[in-house]
Structure 1
Amino acid sequence: MGDTTTIPALDGDGAIPIYLARPAGPPQAAIIVVPEIFGVNAGIRRKCDDWAKLGYLALAPDIFWRFAPGVELDPDVPEQLQQAFGYFQQYDADDGVKDIEAAIHHLRRSEGCAKVGLVGFCLGGRLAYMAATRTDISASVGYYGVMIDQMLNESHAIAHPLMLHIPTADHFVGPEAQAAIHAGLDSHPKVALHDYPGLDHGFAAEMGDRRDEAGAKLADQRTRDFFAQHLA
């Protein structure tokens, strides 16, 4: 359903590869799908295609385009998992926010979508939080976002709705980090937090060993309802 193309980087220095999935008719809104540390792989493309089937224009940026363009990794393959961790260490999240800004500009100015949402996973979940604090994204959703507990001092800047999905057995985001996120965000009028008892990082992956079917369906329905409300 989708195509691979590029959009201009925010600073005009280069082009960001993207996967773009279009709905059958005029889009009701746009959704940026920010991948995990495994690139715009088959699972992320499927997520974009599913949003397009629901009437959204879906765009997934290649977050590693500056140093590993086009990489697609499988988290169930140990060597590729380690490769992904290496890319994560190289990655500058501030650059990620710039790329999200570039995507927002493209979707609003070139595609005519006034309402733009964002859904991100893992590193993309962190970027969903950063987009909520640093951009004018219409609504954001983060799945098992990493390092959010270290950025709670930015929460005062959240001006548009943000939802976070938090698996309680996340081995990358431990109990102390989860407690800090709840303490920092539970009372925020723009933020909704959902815990998933006993589930681990990656539970909403489209395919592979990490997926928990019931948990993924629940979180994804909450995300669909959230965007239906805030991107209408």
Structure 2
Amino acid sequence: MTDMISIPTLDAATMPAYRAAPADSPKAAIIVIQEIFGINAGIRRKCDTLAEAGYLAIAPDLFWRIEPGISLDPDIAPEMQRALALMGQFDQDQGIRDIEAAIRFARSAGTAKVGAVGYCLGGRLAFMTATRTDIDASVGYYAVGVDGLLGEKHAIAKPLLLHIAGDDGFVDRETQAAMHAGLDDHPEVTLHDYPGEDHGFATEFGQRRSDAAATLADQRTAAFFAEHLG
């Protein structure tokens, strides 16, 4: 079952979200954290796939405070530019508070554990979710700007998995090296590199997708959640 729902926020407002529920009782919940393109077809498909695997998947519309209902296609140049502009307007600290609201909502639904998975901007927010909330397990795909967040790594108390695109146009080699230097020895963090892959390689649809790397990363993510969410 899929539907749009409203989630109470920490500041007494309501945030729209896409929800995909499994046929039977969910074994856990997973918050799906959007790219800069909003809750588009690819993010909805990510949720649907998680529901097919037995998870309650919730994708909060994190751009709702700017403009609710954003759904953009990165393969269309004006929509890519619109997405970049939205990212510039987005308050990431407020976004984490909205993700916290989604986590609380998921826990109130009766799921024993809650994980998170994010892409691009969402990958960065997945890292921040691992440092700033009580999430049970987090996964970030091609997270941007993590080198600037390494001062928070001491707060990572639950497992975190990061997928790094080797030829990421938004995450240069210096940043990737800083991520490894800062996180390789962290007991809760696992990093996987994908040589030759560009940003967005695990997207569900469109020109950015790289099937082999996406399949491998998604298999690793599935195993990670199976281990840590039960």
Partner of 1:17: 16
1:125 partner amino acid: G
Ranges in structure 1 where 5+ consecutive residues have no aligned partner: none
Cα distance, 1:52 vs. partner? 0.3
Q: Which residue of 2 aligns with 1:73?
A: 72
Map 1:1-232 onto structure 2 (within 5 A): 1-12=1-12, 14-109=13-108, 111-232=109-230
Distance 2:10 2:178 in 1: 33
Counterparts of 1:27 and 1:10, CA distance in 2: 25
SS at match of 2:46: helix
Shift of 1:5: 1.3
Separation in 1, partners of 2:111, 2:146: 28
Instruction: Report the residue type matching 2:54 in the other structure.
Output: G
SS state of the match for residue 186, structure 2? coil
> C-alpha displacement at 1:20, in angstroms?
0.4
**In structure 1, what residue type is equivalent to 2:171?**
V
TM-score by length of 2: 0.99
Alpha-carbon deviation of 1:86? 0.2
| TM-score with structure 1 setting the length | 0.98
Gaps of 5+ in 2: none
Superposed CA offset, 1:153-176 (max 9, x none)? 000000000000000100100001
CA deviation map 1:40-60 (0-9, x unaligned)? 001110110000011000000
**Identity fraction in percent:** 62
The structural deviation recorded for 1:66 is: 0.1
Deviation string 1:95-133 (CA, Å, 9 cap, x unpaired) is 111011101111112x10120000000000000000000
Per-residue CA deviation, residues 172-229 of structure 1 (Å, 9 max, x unaligned), is: 0000100000000000000000000000000000000000000000000000000000
Name the amino acid aligned to 1:8: P
Deviations along 1:55-97, whole A, 9 cap, x unmatched? 0000001010001110100000000000000000000110111
Matched residue of 1:150: which SS? helix
Report the aligned-residue RMSD.
0.6
Secondary structure, in 3 states, of the residue corresponding to 1:52?
Answer: helix
Supply the AA of the counterpart residue of 1:79: P
How many residues matched? Answer: 230
Q: For 2:136 and 2:188, locate their aligned partners in 1 and report how far apart those are by CA, in whole Å.
A: 12
Shift of residue 11, structure 1, vs aligned partner: 1.6
